[in-house]
Chains A and B, each alone.
Chain A
Amino acid sequence: MSPGHYLALSAVLFTIGAFGVLVRRNAIVVFMCVELMLNATNLAFVSFSRMHGNLDGQIIAFFVMVVAAAEVVVGLAIIMTVFRTRRSSSVDDVNLLKY
């Protein structure tokens, strides 16, 4: 298979992730969609790395994984605090700040 197919898959995954962030209500699911976008990016990096024949893209993918793990820690801490306060993890319920 040519790397082009992987790039197409990566674009599809990124789009699904972005769409999910916009339409889903549960903060955890929204966050999972962001993770899907990051993983789609990893796939793109690795495919481009193969196409260009250098290792930069593969190394970058490791960095992205580490950053995504750090983001999970911070994100789940924030979402859990809000859940404990409001007994809800729906992003529609955090609506005190507006206009």
Chain B
Amino acid sequence: MNTGTQVSAVLAQGGDIPAPHIEYGQLAPMLLVFGAAILGVLVEAFVGRTARYWAQVPIAFLALAGAFAWTIVLAWRDNPHEVAAEGALGVDGPTLFLQGTILVLALVSLLLIAERGGRAGGHFAAQASALPGSEAEQRTAQAGITQTEVFPLMMFAVGGMLMFPAANDLLTMFVALEVLSLPLYLLCGLARRRRLLSQEAAVKYFLLGAFSSAFFLYGTALLYGYAGSVRLSDISAQISKDAGSETLLLAGAALLSVGLLFKLGGVPFHMWKPDVYQGAPTPITALMASCTVVSAFGAILRVYYVVFETLEWDWRPFMWGVAILTMAIGSIIAITQTDIKRMLAYSSIAHAGFLLMGVIAASPHGLSSTLFYLLAYGFTSVGAFAVVTMVRDAGGEAGHLSRWAGLGKRSPVVAGVFAFFLLAFAGIPLTSGFTGKFAVFKAAVEAGATPLVIVAVVSSAVAAFFYVRVIVVMFFSEPDADGPVVVAGPATAVAVAVGVTATVVLGVLPQPVLDLAGQATTHMFVR
């Protein structure tokens, strides 16, 4: 009765259970974002309908900006390298870099989500419960009602994203995974136009996401059975001791990896990504393509660099296979796509493959180059999806590639900016995409993964084909008479400008940010 005696020992102490020590200063960015989310819920409950939008947007904006500023100050002044909240969360260089990246990308995505200019109502359904095509829907649309629940939902999702890469034990990581996923499932179903597609995306994302998180959790259970603890450092110590059942360890590691690879869209767990990216409202797609990817890579980096470091020879072949499949399938299937968002989704899968090479490298250089790549790719992604929200025709966004024909003649600036983003995705020199790819490929070669780099270069060449095809369609074909028009609201224009600026600066002058990523990773992850 080992457990029983422990329980009675705790009970015998009576009221003497010590209160956990929480480092509020170091966790402030997360607490600020979650606080804003709860405040947003209260605003939904108590503030009048017309005033809600004007209350929600400043709250969300100030919380994200404040959390970002706090992260910078924390990294600048203390440069912490320790565990906080009784060991549940790690506060260290890579985590702060990832959290800063997530916060700044969330700020840019917030600009897209808050956009109401150009056309009345913005991107979200006036009332999600009104049936598509019903009288109730028309009535709410005529009344000019706009959805504001998206702001607290987005803040909860961002809070979960901040917690996911910081989680220092598998239970916290699982809770963070659910906190980031559940609001995203709902957000996917809230599009204003093409609501059937949007709801379908939500149901697919939800069922597959819940399925994969069950795998993650069973992996956690098996690793708990192996080590007797879910703390990452304890599991790592147990692996070094080479004690316990190897079956539990390997099965647990495999199931855990399934859950993590699902979130970042690694083949063969990528099937949700094209459907969800296409069906979701485009600002939410921008949020998922930037912040969720950063967060999921943060978590997989922590798990593989801290826990499975000594298990490298066991997971390497598996991760090689996943990375090769992810790069190849992402690039090849993207060629056949005719929907612009779906094509960008496959491009995102291919990029996840390139980023996985940084995980495989398992070196400080691999870590810092992955961090840089995530920052660069996040900005380019948000910018590209921002452009997609601007190109509209009567039915909403012009999704089909053929509708983009001749856009370069109608609106040369927008088409030029989009072409620039596509070139950055392809990794043309003087864009951030080139610097990021070069850094990751170099780290992979140093780690002895040269065959992977060859596959990556070939996939990049294949991917360049379909990026250039879009550019050719935009600039070298005649525009339709009833083709789409460019509707640029002020907030979207700012988001695009930020995306372009970051892509140029990180491409032409990458050294300061590369140095920053290098400094952030000098001590690697805290244990």
Residues on A facing B (Cβ under 8 Å):
7, 10, 14, 17-18, 21, 27, 30-31, 34, 37-38, 40-41, 44-45, 48-58, 60, 63-64, 67, 70-71, 74-75, 77-79, 81-82, 84-86, 91, 94-99
For chain B, residues 272 to 310, give those with C-beta under 8 angstroms from any C-beta of chain A.
Answer: 274-275, 278-279
Q: Which of B3, B206, B211 contacts A74 (CB 8 A)?
A: B206
Residues of A within 8 A of B214 (CB): 14, 17-18, 34, 37-38, 41
Query: Does B210 lie within 8 Å of A31, measured CB to CB?
Result: yes
Question: Does B67 sit at the interface, judged by CB under 8 A?
Answer: no
**Closest 5 interchain pairs by CB?**
A53-B2, A37-B214, A52-B228, A48-B225, A44-B221
Query: Does B203 lie within 8 Å of A96, measured CB to CB?
Result: no
**Cα distance A36–B77 in the bound complex, in angstroms:** 48
Residues of A within 8 A of B220 (CB): 41, 60
Residues of A within 8 A of B218 (CB): 14, 37, 40-41, 44
Query: Given A55-B3, A63-B175, A67-B178, are A81 and B129 also a contact pair (CB < 8 Å)?
Result: yes
Residues on B facing A (Cβ under 8 Å):
2-3, 6-7, 128-129, 131-132, 171, 174-175, 178, 182, 185-186, 189, 195-197, 199-204, 206-207, 210-211, 214, 217-218, 220-222, 224-225, 228-230, 274-275, 278-279, 336
Residues of B within 8 A of A77 (CB): 186
**Cα distance A79–B200 in the bound complex, in angstroms:** 10
Residues of A within 8 A of B336 (CB): 99
Residues of B within 8 A of A98 (CB): 275
Query: Given A49-B3, A53-B3, A71-B182, are A82 and B230 also a contact pair (CB < 8 Å)?
Result: no
**Cα distance A95–B129 in the bound complex, in angstroms:** 21
Residues of B within 8 A of A44 (CB): 218, 221-222, 225
**Cα distance A50–B132 in the bound complex, in angstroms:** 52
Known: A18-B211, A94-B204, A99-B336. 16 other contacts (CB 8 A): A17-B214, A34-B207, A38-B214, A40-B218, A54-B3, A54-B229, A56-B229, A56-B230, A60-B220, A63-B175, A64-B174, A67-B178, A74-B182, A75-B207, A82-B199, A97-B274
Residue among B174, B186, B211, B278 with max Cβ neighbours from chain A (10 Å) = B211
Query: Does B6 lie within 8 Å of A67, measured CB to CB?
Result: no
Q: How far is the CB of B73 from chain A (nearest CB, A)?
A: 32
Q: How far is the CB of A52 from chain B (nearest CB, A)?
A: 4
- Chain A: CB-nearest residue to B228: A52
- Chain A: CB-nearest residue to B231: A56
Query: Does A48 lie within 8 Å of B210, measured CB to CB?
Result: no
Residues of A within 8 A of B175 (CB): 63, 67
Query: Does B132 lie within 8 Å of A60, measured CB to CB?
Result: no
Q: Which of B211, B217, B228 contacts A64 (CB 8 A)?
A: B217
Q: How far is the CB of B429 from chain A (nearest CB, A)?
A: 34
Query: Does A97 lie within 8 Å of B221, measured CB to CB?
Result: no
Q: How far is the CB of A71 from chain B (nearest CB, A)?
A: 6
Query: Given A27-B203, A37-B218, A81-B189, are A63 and B3 also a contact pair (CB < 8 Å)?
Result: no
Query: Does A74 lie within 8 Å of B185, measured CB to CB?
Result: yes
Query: Given A41-B214, A75-B210, A85-B132, are A94 and B200 also a contact pair (CB < 8 Å)?
Result: yes
